[in-house]
Structure 1
């Protein structure tokens, strides 16, 4: 499965993505340190990335978590990631988490990517509710949620641990599949 749009593509993580993923995470380490610390920590070198990718491929096939890479089609460079995670199959609920590299930020790409993944999540993964959890300082991510018609629900207290150990409040947005 691959979703193409403009000069980009979204596809499930693959074993061959390990080196590119390592390059992506390391070159954007400052950008991802606060809100993607686990993914960053697990991709700091090619060996770690190979282990991470193997685990994520297995989880994708088992339908436990879905990790998609976003690639620039000309040279196949990874420019972003989109997770569909925290799956609650009985309730039909999942959470979206996403990140994009420095040079692609602010161009509206993530809004389009989330739209594509929302459609996939509702139509292929058979989810009924999607959530986005974002820190109040991440204005760009809040705009992505709002432009994709996610509705602000509430502040979730002390739900995310920062790299310094501090737990911070996050904002919860939700989108429901139309009947």
Structure 2
């Protein structure tokens, strides 16, 4: 009787490995589709895309404008009235925030007028109010309104915020 010289059948391992990889791929695909489907039906849309089909990165890049800052080098220094007629000392170091370099250039150009208005505003402030965070926030808002009013009178673009770098009342 003749011997069969045909090679032995490949081990069953290769078949099982292919089956495991295929099953793993199907599971990953199913999980991914379920997440995207859930987001779609919950109203979030597809991740990374807005309703008009543009990507979120493109949308943010077209809207985002970094702020620019101008430090007022010399502090605003004045005296303010406290209860009982006593004179108190106030010193404020400021920075101005804007959306464009042109707005800061305008503020730099009109700095003497702005500084004068801010010193007057600080001098008319109440000492007890300036000791609270709410009072300082209100002062910053009033200073912003004053600066923007000066810039508006001069036909310039408004600023975004007035920031305190240092604030001393005593």
Taking structure 2 as the reference length, what is the TM-score of the superposition?
0.25
Relative contact order higher in (CA < 8 Å, ≥ 6 apart): 2
